[in-house]
Amino acid sequence: MPPNEIQYGEAMRYMISNNIKHKMTHRREITSILKTGRVDYQQALAELNSRFISIGLEMHPCSTDQLDTSDTFFLVRDQSIKTDEEIEEFLEKLIIAVTIIYIENKKMSLEVFTNILSKLMGNEKAESLIFEMKKHKYVKVEKEDIYVIKLYWRFYAEFPYFDPLEFFEKTFD
């Protein structure tokens, strides 16, 4: 039996709540809320995604490239919708910071990364940006021999085909 309107609304509310907390939503959580089995799952997932698209969001698969085969999902906003300048400024800084990590083979020393950002934007702004990037799950800091910062799941979810060279060519042409 396909899900009803209330179940779709509960699933949307749950995914938005997870998105606000910067958490991925797992397939088992969606199937539990929508009360669907394997037979109805793909159709229910497509319907849920179309409902998100109607409000300017889209479900993005995190564990695979396909929505119907992914075990985890995250919501991303429609890029054509106008946003606050503050968000655009964060996105600009994020792209610069991610490019630095990307150039270093997607992983680098936290100390070196902090020094580079501090030279570009000052100590306070650099620390604030690193905090925001960690909070929003764009990067992850791990202890190896030293503290290392690396790209994390949300970066790959929101920027699956990120190419710094292409981005800067478009920006400065």
The tens digit of pLDDT for each residue in 58-89 reads: 898 888 888 888 899 999 887 665 655 666 78
Cα 27 from Cα 73, distance rounded (Å): 8
pLDDT bucket at 1, cuts 50 / 70 / 90: low
Q: How much is the pLDDT for 133?
A: 92
Same domain, 94 and 165: yes
CA gap 162, 155 in Å, rounded: 9
Residue 43 shares a structural domain with residue 121: no
Q: What is the pLDDT of residue 103?
A: 86
> Do 151 and 116 reside in the same domain of the chain?
yes
The reply to whether 36 and 96 lie within a common domain is: no
CATH of the domain at 116: 1.10.10.10
Q: Are 53 and 67 in contact (CB under 8 A)?
A: no
**DSSP string covering the chain:** ----HHHHHHHHHHHHHHHHTT--EEHHHHHHHHT--HHHHHHHHHHHHHHHHTTTEEEEESSSSSTTT-SEEEEEE-TTS---HHHHHHHHHHHHHHHHHHHTTTEEEHHHHHHHHHHHH-HHHHHHHHHHHHHTTSEEEEESSSEEEEE-HHHHHH-TT--HHHHHHHHH-
Instruction: Identify the domain containing residue 21 by its residue range.
Output: 5-77
pLDDT, one tens digit per residue, over 149-170 is 998 888 887 887 787 878 777 7
Number of domains in the chain: 2
Of all residues in the chain, the percent with pLDDT exceeding 90 is 36
Output 134 or 172, whichever has higher pLDDT.
Answer: 134
| CA R_g for the chain | 18
57 and 125 both lie in a single domain? no
Cβ contact 68:42 at 8 Å: yes
Q: What is the pLDDT of residue 33?
A: 93
Q: What is the pLDDT of residue 111?
A: 93
Last residue of a domain, one of 56, 77, 98: 77
Q: Are 58 and 95 part of one and the same domain?
A: no
Residue 11, amino acid: A
CA nearest 71: which of 36, 24, 39? 24
Domain final residue, candidates 28, 50, 77: 77
Is there a single domain that holds both residue 103 and residue 157? yes
Structure-model confidence comparison of residues 143 and 170, the more confident one: 143
For range 127-141, the mean pLDDT: 92
Q: For 27-50, what is each residue's pLDDT tens digit? A: 999 999 999 887 888 899 999 999
Average pLDDT over residues 112-119: 92
For the chain, give the number of residues: 173
Q: What is the distance between the alpha carbons of residues 129 and 136, in angstroms, rounded to a whole number?
A: 11
